[in-house]
Chain A
Amino acid sequence: MAAKKKRTPQAQNDSWVVVAADSVIDTKKHDSDPAFVRLRNPSTDAASLYMLGAGDAQMYEVKAFEEEFHSWFVGQTVQRDGRLLFVTPMDPLFLILPYLIKAGKEGKFQPVDQIIMDEEFPVCPRLLSCTRSLASLHHIAEEKEVGSLKFHRYSQEKTMNWLKKKVERTVVALKKKNICVGEGVKSTTYIRVKSESGYHEEDYLRYAHGLISEYTSEDLSKALLKHLQLPELTSPKETEPPSKKRKLSDNAVEAGEDYTKFNSADFARKPPKKMTAAQKTLAKVDKTGMKTMSSFFSPKGKTEKK
C-alpha cells in the first residue's frame, strides 16, 4: 500500500442529482420556472434551502441524503458528491408562521403582505403566492374583513389545534409506513423480522411531535408538547452528581519488596510500537500457507529433504 490517500477539498458541483415530482417542473400551466430559494428555517432560524414550484404555486423543501464514500456516475461523467437531493412538498404555513407570531406580539390585525417581510430573505413574500397560503391562513390566524381588504392576527389557540392535527396525521402516516418509533439505539442496517407491536400511542405521539418540531420554533414545540399533554422528558445528565476526584494521600509510598536487584534497563517496559496503516493492512491479510520471507534465505537442502 502506498502513501496515505490525500483528501482533496470538496469542489463545488455544477450539477445535482435530484428526486422530485413531475409537478415541480410542470411549467405548462405557469409562466415562471421553479427556483431554489433561501428562506428562514423556522426551526433553526438560519437560512435553509427550499424550492418554489413553477408559478410559485407550491412550496417544496429540499433535503439532502448525504453519506460518506458515495459518488455518482452521471452519463459520461463522474460526480464527486454522492448526494441525493429530495424536493418534497411542504406546507408554506410553517414558513409563514414565525412572521405571524412576531407580528402578533403587537396585538394588531394587519394585512399579511405587511407581515411577511424579511430583509435577510427578500424572496419570502413569494410564499404568499402559493395556492395554499392565503386559503389556509385561517388555521393559524384570526381574520377580519373590511371591505375588500383582509386583516390577520396570530392566534396561538388556532395554531395549537392546527399543529395537533398535523401530529395526528403524522401518527397515521408513521403507522402506515411501519416506522420504528421505539426508544433506544437502533441500527439502520438491522432488519426486523417481526414488526414491533409493543409501541404505545405515546411513543407515536412523541415521535410525530419531534418530526413536526423540525418545522417549528423551540417555543412552539414546547407549547405543543403541553397541548398534546405529553410530559417533558428530563435528561438524566442534569441530575448526575459531579464526578469525584480520588484523594491523594500525603504519605510517601514505600515499596513492599526490594526490586533494586533487577537491572532497571531490563525492567523498563518498552512502549508498544505503533503500526503504520500499511502494516495494519498487512496484518489483516490472510497469510495461511504463505512462506515467511526468511524461509527463502535458509539453506536449500532443508526443503529438499522433506
Chain B
Amino acid sequence: MDLGPFETDNSVSCRLASQIPDVCKTEDCCLGIDEAGRGPVLGPMVYGICFCPVSKKQQLKDSKVADSKTLSEAERENLFKNLDEAKSYVGWALHIISPNTISTSMLQRTKYNLNALSHDSAIGLVQYALDSGVQLKEVYVDTVGPADKYEAKLSQRFPGIEVTVRPKADSLFPIVSAASICAKVARDRVVKGWNFAEDLGEMDTDYGSGYPNDPKTKAWMLKYLDPVFGYPQFVRFSWSTAQTLMDSKGVTVHWDDDEEDGEKAAQRQHNKSMLSYFSASAGGKDQNPSHQTHRFLTERRLKSLCTL
C-alpha cells in the first residue's frame, strides 16, 4: 500500500486503490464496505472497500480474514499482505478522509455531519468500483445510523445491485472483514507516520490511540494546544474534546454564526427591540439627533474616529 499520495498533502482527502483484477471485470462480484477511525479525535477516518468475484467467496473465507477489531496489529498487517497477494481476484480501494476535512465539514456554516460524510464516502467508493468496470452484483455494508434507512439509500443510489446493510457486517461477511482490514491498516500506518504540516519543532509523537478517553491522547492534546490557532490539522476540531480544551485554555474566537442570545447580544448587534417601533417616539430619538452619518459611509462601514 503506497500512502504517498495522501502523505504529500494530508489536509485533504485522498483515494488509494489496488489494481482492478481482470476477473472482476467479467464475473459477477461482491463488495464489502467498512470504516476505521470513526471515534478518535486524532487522525483521519478511512473508508475501505474490498471486492472479489462471487465465486471466490469461499476462497476468501479460507484466508481467515476476520473482523479487524479482534486482531492484533501484526495479524492485521499479515492479513493485508495476504489480500495484496491475492490480487488476481481481490481488489480494494480506500478513501482517506483527512481530519482537516472532518473538522471543516462538521464546523462549516451548513453542518455536514459525520454520518452524511460516511455515507457519501461509501457511495463514492462503490461508484469508483463501478466506474472501474467491476461487475458488482452484491454489496455488503456495516451500518452507519439506522440499517434500513441506509440500505434504502444505497439501493436507490445503485439500482440493480443487491445491497445488504447489517450491523456487525464485518464479522458476518468475509468481504466486509477484508475491507475492514484494509481500512484499519491504512489508518494505523497514516497515524503512525503522520506528517505534521505545521512547524512544531521537535514533535512528541506519543499521542496514544487517539481516542478521547485515552490519557496519553489527552495529555498530548493539552501539550499541543496553541492559544491562538488551537491544534495542528491532525486533530479533529469538531470533536467536543478538542472544543472544550480550546474554549477553556485558548483565546476566545467569535464567528458571526455563533449563537448568542439575550438582550446583550441584541444590543451588541445594534438590534432594536420590536417594541421600540410601536412606542410614541418611534425612532425619533437616536443618540445623536442632530447628526446622521450619510449612507455612503454607513453602507461601507466607514466612520470617523476621535482617538486611535
Name A residues whose Cβ lies closer than 8 Å to a Cβ of B: 1-8, 13, 16, 36, 38, 41, 43-44, 46-49, 61-69, 78, 85-86, 179, 186, 188, 207, 210-211, 213-214, 218, 237, 242-243, 277, 280-281, 284-291, 295, 303, 306
Q: Which residues of A contact B288 (CB under 8 A)?
A: 44
Closest to B293 in A: A214
Per a CB cutoff under 8 Å, which of A188, A237, A242, A286 touches B116? A286
Is the CB–CB distance between B247 and A5 below 8 Å? yes
Q: Which residues of A contact B254 (CB under 8 A)?
A: 5, 7, 68-69
Is the CB–CB distance between A63 and B113 below 8 Å? no
Is the CB–CB distance between B167 and A218 below 8 Å? no
Closest to A277 in B: B259
Name B residues whose Cβ lies closer than 8 Å to a Cβ of A: 111-113, 115-116, 119, 144-150, 153, 167, 228, 243-244, 247-248, 252, 254-256, 258-261, 268-269, 278, 280, 282-284, 288, 290-291, 293-297, 299-308
Is the CB–CB distance between B146 and A291 below 8 Å? yes
Is the CB–CB distance between B259 and A280 below 8 Å? yes
Is the CB–CB distance between B256 and A210 below 8 Å? no
Closest to B227 in A: A78
Per a CB cutoff under 8 Å, which of B252, B296, B305 touches A5? B252
Q: Which residues of B contact A277 (CB under 8 A)?
A: 259-261
Kindly list the 6 A-B residue pairs having the minimum CB-CB distance in the complex, ordered from nearest: A289-B145, A2-B247, A69-B256, A49-B305, A289-B115, A210-B294
Is the CB–CB distance between B115 and A68 below 8 Å? no
Is the CB–CB distance between B301 and A288 below 8 Å? no
Q: Which residues of B contact A66 (CB under 8 A)?
A: 301, 303
Is the CB–CB distance between A68 and B256 below 8 Å? yes
Per a CB cutoff under 8 Å, which of A47, A62, A210, A289 touches B144? A289
Cα separation A281 to B256 with both chains bound (whole Å)? 14
List 24 A–B pairs whose Cβ atoms lie within 8 Å, in order of A's numbering: A5-B258, A7-B268, A38-B306, A44-B288, A44-B291, A49-B304, A49-B305, A61-B304, A63-B297, A64-B303, A64-B304, A68-B254, A68-B269, A78-B228, A179-B296, A207-B296, A214-B294, A218-B290, A237-B282, A243-B280, A280-B259, A281-B259, A295-B146, A306-B147
Q: Which residues of A contact B304 (CB under 8 A)?
A: 41, 44, 48-49, 61-64
CB distance from B104 to the nearest CB of A (A): 15
Closest to A12 in B: B308
Q: Which residues of B contact A78 (CB under 8 A)?
A: 228
Cα separation A213 to B232 with both chains bound (whole Å)? 52
Is the CB–CB distance between A8 and B299 below 8 Å? no
Closest to B165 in A: A306
Q: Which residues of A contact B116 (CB under 8 A)?
A: 286, 288-289
Cα separation A86 to B294 with both chains bound (whole Å)? 17
Per a CB cutoff under 8 Å, which of B296, B301, B306 touches A46? B306
Closest to B301 in A: A67
Is the CB–CB distance between A288 and B115 below 8 Å? yes
Closest to A83 in B: B305
